[in-house]
Amino acid sequence: MATLVHVSSPVKNPSHRRVFDIEYAEAELPNGLKIVGMQLEKAGPERIIMIQSPRTSPRSEYMQQENLRVQQSPTLKEKFPKLKMLTVELSHYDPTGVSRSSQVKQTVNVAFAKSVFRVACHNQECVRGDFDLSPKLGAAVAKKKPSIVGEMCCQGWRNRQTIDIEPCNNILRYKLTLGY
């Protein structure tokens, strides 16, 4: 359970009091918060140090691991020297495939974009999901296809409370246009 702390301004006069408010939040804070050190001196100014805790959740742990995998991958240009141009059209849908939450079209800079090509799931609480278009992209480049169209279903969990119970199942519909 997260702790929210409010602290009044430091005391300058020892006869004054400094107020600490500590509250409990029902939900976990995104990055957590914890008091790492508190020093109280008699009749003197006290100090409190707060930092963002590196405490992890199943969601943030997975995201960190995947971000690392992306960062460590070669660029698209390095991995697929033949590929000169890539445009992606992405539409995000809920599990029913009817309600669309967003639609984007963008040209990817192959010299900078990483070859582990992930698209974040639009479920803000999704755990261990998202969409990895890398295998589709690799297969398309290998066959020099000018474009591919498809649909992927998020393999993550709906939220941290439903891990191993309720899958996320959000849908991504994509079109990749490739130039060589």
State the residues that interact with Zn ion by CB under 5 A: 121, 123, 126, 129, 154, 156, 168, 170
Q: Closest CB to Zn ion among 134 and 170?
A: 170
Q: How far is the CB of 131 from Zn ion (least distance, A)?
A: 8
Q: Closest CB to Zn ion among 155 and 177?
A: 155
Over the Cα atoms of the chain, what is R_g? 24
Q: Name the residue type at position 61.
A: E
Q: How far is the CB of 94 from Zn ion (least distance, A)?
A: 10
Q: How far is the CB of 75 from Zn ion (least distance, A)?
A: 26
Q: How far is the CB of 154 from Zn ion (least distance, A)?
A: 3
Nearest-5° Cα angle at 94, 146 to 160: 115
Q: How far is the CB of 168 from Zn ion (least distance, A)?
A: 3
Which helix or strand (DSSP H or E) is residue 102 part of? strand 100-108
Q: Which of 136, 76, 153 is nearest to 109 (CA)?
A: 76
Q: Closest CB to Zn ion among 2 and 62?
A: 62
Q: Closest CB to Zn ion among 80 and 129?
A: 129
Q: Closest CB to Zn ion among 108 and 119?
A: 119
160 close to 59: Cβ distance less than 8 angstroms: yes
Q: Name the residue type at position 174.
A: Y
Residue 51, token pair as written in the block = 């930092």
Q: Which of 178, 60, 74, 47 is nearest to 124 (CA)?
A: 60
Residue-by-residue DSSP string for 117-135? -EE--S-TT-BS--EE-HH
